[in-house]
Structure 1
Amino acid sequence: MDYIHEEKIIIVEGKSDKKRVQEVINEPVHIICTNGTISVTKLDELMEDIMDKEVYILVDADSSGEKLRKLFKREFPEAEHLYIDKMYREVASAPYHHIATVLLSANIDIHAEYL
């Protein structure tokens, strides 16, 4: 994996989640897609790259998202977990203003038009 230069990292499940989050944020943040799952090897590589960074986990409010969240809680307890409302189920389908509010609560700068 490449060295990550940004101090803040958001881990999401899919490319559509990444795109949605990128549209809302207004600061340099590295967004990593797990594509729904992550192998032990990939997780080990990722852990090396994200040590000493502000890491946020933003996954879907469904069973696969919860599995991923449990894995990160166990393997990387320092990460901060961000939650979308269960009624939206997926990060990619949550309204921009909701995602903006969730990110703002973690002190991530967002574009004002999404509030």
Structure 2
Amino acid sequence: MEECSDKVIIVEGLTDKKQIEKVIDEEVTIICTNGTFGVERFDELLETYDLDHRDVFILVDEDQSGQKLRKQLSNELPHAEHIHVSSEYREVATTPESFLATVLVSKHIAVNPLFLM
């Protein structure tokens, strides 16, 4: 495993990851799928990150490709919790930090308190 954290957030791209990293205030593994998700890639992620034994959160864009990825991931990881950004923002990368902080803290992920004001 790359990092030693019980929590994993699965996102679509690097800009999503960077936006989340600005807000969180604890060690969380953030996995980028790069928008593609095949069986082989999933098996690799499952083994590398031990996803069956960790708290997994799915945070993808509120667009067609994000919803398709969310459906695939929830079929493969039924224990995963879903985090949604507002359809007003559509993309994780463009969601304001304060909104992201609020939805992340609701899932018991520590965030920088400055973003909760």
User: TM-score, normalised on structure 2?
Assistant: 0.93
Partner SS state of residue 30, structure 2: strand
Count of matched residue positions in the alignment of Structure 1 and Structure 2 = 114
What one-letter code is carried by the residue in structure 2 that aligns with 1:84?
A: V
What one-letter code is carried by the residue in structure 1 that aligns with 2:86?
A: D
Unaligned runs of 5+ in 1: none
Do the aligned residues in 2 keep the contact of 1:4 with 1:50 (CA within 8 Å)? no
CA distance in 2, matches of 1:34, 1:72: 10
Unaligned runs of 5+ in 2: none
Do the aligned residues in 1 keep the contact of 2:52 with 2:77 (CA within 8 Å)? no
45-54 vs 104-113, greater mean Cα deviation: 45-54
Match of 1:107?
108
Percent of residue pairs bearing the same amino acid type: 49
What one-letter code is carried by the residue in structure 2 that aligns with 1:80?
A: E
Give the ranges of 4+ consecutive aligned residues of structure 1 lying more than 6 Å apart after TM superposition: none
CA distance in 2, matches of 1:112, 1:5: 23
40-49 vs 17-26, greater mean Cα deviation: 40-49
Do the aligned residues in 2 keep the contact of 1:36 with 1:64 (CA within 8 Å)? yes
Q: 1:40 to 1:4 in 2, by over 3 A?
A: farther
Do the aligned residues in 1 keep the contact of 2:45 with 2:51 (CA within 8 Å)? yes
